[in-house]
Amino acid sequence: MFRSARDFGTAVREKRKGLGWTQTALAARSGTGERFIIELESGKPSCQLEKALIVARTVGIEIGDLKTGKATPTAPDDDLGFLPTFGDGR
């Protein structure tokens, strides 16, 4: 599972390079701009989800891969610790 925009961007970059594509080629194939690919691969957290998913599909990352992607190891009790709490802490 990807835990951050950086993890996701790294996976896209690795897939793109494995295909032998430049960022310009990936942008053209996915219908996005080169600037978007650069920002996505660098882990910019404000990238647009729809475009990011199109790019992921273009390089062969499917939604199911999100469950099997490499994750940063965390303690089992802290699995959701990155989420904010609201109100009464639940």
Maximum average pLDDT range among 2-6, 38-42, 48-52, 86-90: 38-42
Structural domains of the chain, with CATH: 5-69 (1.10.260.40)
**Prediction pTM value:** 0.65
Which pLDDT tens digit goes with each residue over 3-25? 788 999 999 999 999 999 999 99
Which pLDDT tens digit goes with each residue over 66-87? 555 554 444 444 555 544 455 5
DSSP codes of every residue in 12-56: HHHHHHHHT--HHHHHHHHT--HHHHHHHHTT-TTS-HHHHHHHH
Per-chain mean pLDDT for the chain: 78
